[in-house]
Amino acid sequence: MHLSWWVRIRSIWYALALHVIAAALLVFSFSFTDIIKPPHQDISIVNAVTVDKSQVDKELQRLKQEDEKKKLEEQQRLDELEKKATEEKKKSEDLKKQRLEEEKKLLEAKKKKEQEQKLREEEQKKLADLEKQKQELEKQKKLEEEKKVLAEAEQKKKAAELKKLEEERKKAEAEKALQAQLDAEAAEEQQQQDITLQQKIVAEIKSQVRRNFNQTGLPPGLQCKVNIRLLPGGDVINANVVQSSGNDIFDRRALTAVQKSSPFSSVPDDLEIFERIKIRDITFTFEP
Amino acid sequence: MFKKYIYTLFLIFIFTLFFSKLAYAIEIIIDKGVEKPIPVAIVPFGWSQAANLPPVDIAQVISNDLIRSGRFSAMEEKDMPQRPTDFDGVNFRDWRLLGMENLLIGNLAQNNQGDYDVEFRLIDVYKEKQIAGFRIPSTQVQLRRTAHEISDIIYEKLIGIRGAFATRIVYVTVNKNPDGTKRFALQVSDADGYNPQILLESNEPIMSPAWSPDGRSLAYVSFEEKNSAVYIQDIQSGARQKVASNRGINSAPGWSPDGSRLALTLSKDGNPEIYIFHIASRTLSRITENAAIDTEPVWSGDGKMLAFTSDRGGNPQIYEVPVEGGQPRRISFNGTYNAGPEYSPDSKTIAVINGDRGAYRIGLLNRATGQVTILTGSRQDESPSFAPNGHMIIYTTTGARGNALAAISVDGSVHQRLALQDGEVREPAWGPFMNR
C-alpha cells in the first residue's frame, strides 16, 4: 500500500513537469507567429488625382521601378525571414524531438513502473484473491457449519415441534375421547331422563284415558285398538279405531275415551322435548 | 368397500337398538275404565206450531227415562250451550267443551190429519256423526209412548241392549173407602208410572199380578169371592177366565215362557204345594210334595226349571226344581230369609227378598255361586221384578215416607221412587217388551 502511494505521487510529478515544459514551448511559438504578420494593409490606399499622360507614364515608370525595387527588397527580406524561420523551425524540431525522446523515456519508465506495479498488484490481487478464496472457503465452511448447525437445530426444533404436535394431538384425542365419553354419558343420562319422562307421561295418559273410558253396560271380553297422533301440548289429532272389537258401541266408547281426554295435559308444549320423548304416535288397546 | 357398507349398516342397527329403548310407537293398555252415567243431552224438540205448546214435551220424557235407568246423565235444558234442531246447526266444539258425548235433536210436527210426526237424530259429538235417525208417526195419545220408544233406541245404540222404557208395569193399589174399609185396584201404567189404567177394583184383596209373555194378559189372585182364586184377564178387552179356585189357597201364578202354562201354589191337597196348570187343557200336574210351605213359583228363561220359596229347611229359602218334577235343590244360603224369587231375563241371577236381622232388602242371587248381592238399603223392600232387558228391578219400599214403588238398576247405582198416585202400592210386575 505504501509503495503504490509513492509511485502514484511520482507519476503525478512527472506529469506536472511535462505539462509545464509543453506550456513554455507553446508560449514561444506564439511570439514568432506574431512577427510574420503580413504588412500590406497600408499599401492599398490610392489618391484619385488627374494628371497628364506623359507625366503619368513617367511617373508610372518610376513607380513601377520603385515598386519592383520594393518588391525585390521585400523578397529579400522574406527570404531572410524564411531562412530564419526554417532555422528556427529546425531548432524547435530538434528540441521537440529531444523532448519527445525524453518523454518516451519517461513513458517507458512509467510504463515499466506501471507494469511492475501491475505485476505487483496482480500478485497482490492474486494473493488477495487467494486470501479471499480462502476466506470465502472458510466463510462457506463456516456458513455450511452454521447451516449444518442451523439445520440440526431446525431438525431438532422440527422434531420437538412434531413431538409437541403429536403430544397435542394425543392430548386432543384424549380430550376428545373424554368429551365423547362425557357426551355419551350425557346422552345416556338425557335418554334416561327422556325415558323416565316418557314413562311418566304415558302413565298420566293411561290414567286420563281410564278415567274417560266408560264401561257402563259394556259386555266383558271385548278388545279394540285405537291409534292417535298427538301434537305438542297434547292435542289429539287423527284418532282412529285400527282394530275393531266387532262391537260398535265398545269401539265408540274407546274412541270417545281418547278424544275426551284431549288435550293430554302432561304432554310437553316444547317441540324439541316432544320429539325427543317420541310420544307422537300412541296405540291404545282397550281390553277391560 | 362392500364390507365397510355392511359394517356401517350394522352400526346403524346397533344404534337403533340402543335408542329403541324409547319406544317410537307407544302402546298403552287400558285394562279398566269407569262405570258412570253416559252423558247425553236431549235437546228440546223443534215444534211446527209456534202458537200452541206441543202436547208432550218429548225431550223431557226421554231425559227422565234415561236418568231413571241409572245409565245416563241427561243434561238439564238450562245448561245447554245451544238448542239445535238439525244436524247442521250443531256446534260440536261447544258441546265437547262441556264433555257432552251424545246429542239427541229432533222435531215434532203435526200433519193435516191431526196426527204427529216425530223425527230425531242421535249424534256422536266426538265423532261428529249421526248414530241413528228415525221418523216415527204417532198420535196425540201415543206421543208419550213414542218418546219412550226413542228412549229405547238411544239406550240400545249407546248401551247395546234394548231399552225397556216403552213397556208397562202392573201393580195393586190399596186405598181407603169412605167407610174406612180398604179398596184394592189392579192397575197398569207406562213403565214411568204415567197413564195408569185400572183393570179391576175390589173391596177384597187382589194379589200377585203376573204378565203373560206376550204382554196381552195378566194372571192374578183375587179374593173377590171371599176365597182366593186365580184369574187370567185380557188387558185390552177385559175378558177374563178363572183358572184355579180350589179349596184352600189358590195363589202365586207364574207364566211359562211360552205362555201355555201357569205355575201355581195350591193347598187343595193339604199344605201349599207347587203345581203346573196347563191353560189349554185346564189340567194340573203336581211338582212338590212336602210338609213345609212351598210357594211363589217362577219359570226360568229356558222354561226348564222352577224356582220357589220353601221353609222346608226351617226358614224360607229359594229352591229349584225341574218343571217335570224331581228333588228340589236349595240354592240360597245367605241370610235367614230369602223369598219372592224372580229370574233375570238371562236367568243367570234370581232377584230375591233377602231378610237379615230384621231388614228385608232386594238382593240378587247368583245361580252359579249361590252368593246374594244386596241391592237396596231400606228395611222393608219387597216384590222385585226385572225389567225385560234385565237392567232394572222394580219393587216396593216402605220407609219413612210410607210405601212406594221404586226402581233400581241391577248394578245398584240408581234408586228411584216412581211418581204415582196416593195410597199404598203393592206387588209391581214389569211387563215384557211390546212389539214396535
Judged by CB atoms closer than 8 Å, whether chains meet at B22 and A252 is answered as: no
Instruction: Please check the confidence at residue A48 and state whether its pLDDT lies above 70.
Output: no
- Cβ distance of A288 and B36 shorter than 8 Å: no
Whole-model pTM over 0.90: no
What residue segments make up the domains of chain B, in order of their start?
38-159, 168-430
Q: Is the ipTM of this complex over 0.90?
A: no
CATH architecture of B38-159: 3-Layer(aba) Sandwich (3.40)
User: Quick one: cell of B91?
Assistant: 256446534
Contact B30 A214 (CB under 8 A): no
Taking CB atoms and an 8 Å limit, are B34 and A195 in contact across chains? no
Identify the helix (H) or strand (E) that includes residue B275. Answer: strand B273-278
The answer to whether the CB of B380 falls within 8 A of the CB of B60 is no
- Averaged pLDDT of chain B: 90
- How far apart CA A162 and CA A156 sit, in angstroms, is 10
Q: Which residues from chain A sit within 8 angstroms of residue B34, using beta carbons? A: 210-215
* Contact (CB, 8 A) for B344 and B329: no
A/B interface, count of CB pairs below 8 Å:
110
Q: What is the pLDDT of residue A136?
A: 83
State how far the Cα of B147 lies from the Cα of B109, in Å rounded to an integer: 14
Mean pLDDT, chain A, rounded, equals 83
Average pLDDT over residues A183-212: 90
Q: Which amino acid is at B16?
A: T
Q: Which residue has the cell 213397556?
A: B167
- Cell numbers given for B92: 260440536
Tell me what the mean pLDDT of segment B3-26 comes to.
Answer: 61
How far off is chain B from A202, nearest CA to CA, in Å? 7
Residue type, B112: N
**What percent of chain B has pLDDT above 90?**
73
**Confidence band (pLDDT; 50, 70, 90) for A114?**
confident
Query: How confident is the model over B224-242, as a mean pLDDT?
Result: 95
Confidence of residue A7 (pLDDT cuts 50, 70, 90): low
What is chain A's alpha carbon radius of gyration, rounded to the nearest angstrom? 69
Is A288 in contact with B28 (Cβ distance < 8 A)? no
What confidence category does residue B158 fall into, taking pLDDT thresholds of 50, 70 and 90? very high
CB-CB neighbors (< 8 A) of B156 in chain A: none
* The predicted structure's pLDDT at residue B48: 82
For domain B168-430, the CATH architecture is 6 Propeller (2.120)
The DSSP bridge pattern shows strands B283-286 and B294-299 to be: unpaired
**What per-residue confidence (pLDDT) applies to B379?**
85
Enumerate the residues of chain A whose CB falls inside 8 A of the CB of residue B391: 217
Beta strands in B287-391 (DSSP E): 294-299, 305-310, 317-322, 329-330, 337-343, 349-356, 359-366, 372-374, 381-386
Q: Spell out which residues of chain B touch residue A260, defining contact as CB-CB under 8 Å.
A: 96, 99, 101, 126
Question: CB under 8 Å to B403, separation ≥6 — which residues?
Answer: B396, B397, B424, B425, B426
With a CB cutoff of 8 Å and minimum separation 6, the contacts of A239 are A226, A227, A228, A255, A258, A259, A262
A217 with B101: Cβ contact below 8 A: no
Q: Do B38-159 and B168-430 share a fold? A: no
Cα-to-chain-centroid distance, residue A50: 101
Q: Calculate how close chain B gets to A166, using CA atoms only, in Å.
A: 28
Closest by Cα among B45, B158, B40 to B102: B40
Query: A216, A223, A249, A253: best mutation site toward chain B, by most B Cβ within 10 Å?
Result: A216
Which of A281, A279, A282 is closest to A195 using CA atoms? A279
Calculate mean pLDDT across residues B57-83: 93
- Amino acid identity at B275: Y
Do residues B102 and B39 touch, judged by C-beta distance below 8 A? yes
What is the structure's pLDDT at A33? Answer: 47
Residues facing A128 on adjacent strands = none
Length of chain A: 288
- Maximum Cα–Cα distance across chain A: 197
Contacts of A238 in chain B (CB under 8 A): none
List, for residues B363-408, the tens digit of each pLDDT value: 999 999 989 999 988 889 999 999 999 989 999 988 666 788 888 8
Give the separation between CA A24 and CA A95, rounded to whole angstroms: 12
Q: Compute the distance between CA of residue A218 and CA of residue B189 in angstroms, rounded to an integer.
A: 30
Give the tens place of pLDDT for each residue, B246-289. 999 999 999 999 999 999 999 998 899 999 999 999 999 999 99
Please write the tens of the pLDDT for every residue from A239-276: 999 999 999 999 999 999 999 999 999 999 998 888 88
- Residue A38 burial (CB count, 10 A): 6
Query: Are the beta carbons of B26 and A281 separated by less than 8 Å?
Result: yes
A279 interaction partners in chain B (CB closer than 8 Å): 26
Q: Is A18 helix (H, G, I), strand (E, B) or coil?
A: helix
Band of residue A158 on the pLDDT scale cut at 50, 70, 90: confident
CB contact under 8 A, A278 and B161: no
My answer on whether omega of the bond before A263 falls inside 30° of 0, hence cis, is yes
Residues in A whose CB is inside 8 Å of some CB of B read: 191, 194-195, 198, 202, 205-206, 209-219, 247, 249-250, 252-257, 259-260, 276-279, 281-288
Q: Are strands B38-42 and B102-110 parallel, antiparallel or unpaired?
A: parallel
Which residue type sits at A152? E
Fold (topology level) of A136-288: 3.30.1150
B159/A209 touch (CB, cutoff 8 Å), yes or no: no
| Nearest partner of B171 among B432, B433, B430, B378, judged by Cα | B430
CB neighbours of residue B364 within 10 Å:
22
Contacts of B46 (CB under 8 A, 6+ apart): B85, B86, B106, B107, B108
Contacts of B31 in chain A (CB under 8 A): 287-288
The residue with cell 246429542 is: B103
Per-residue pLDDT for A37 more than 60? no
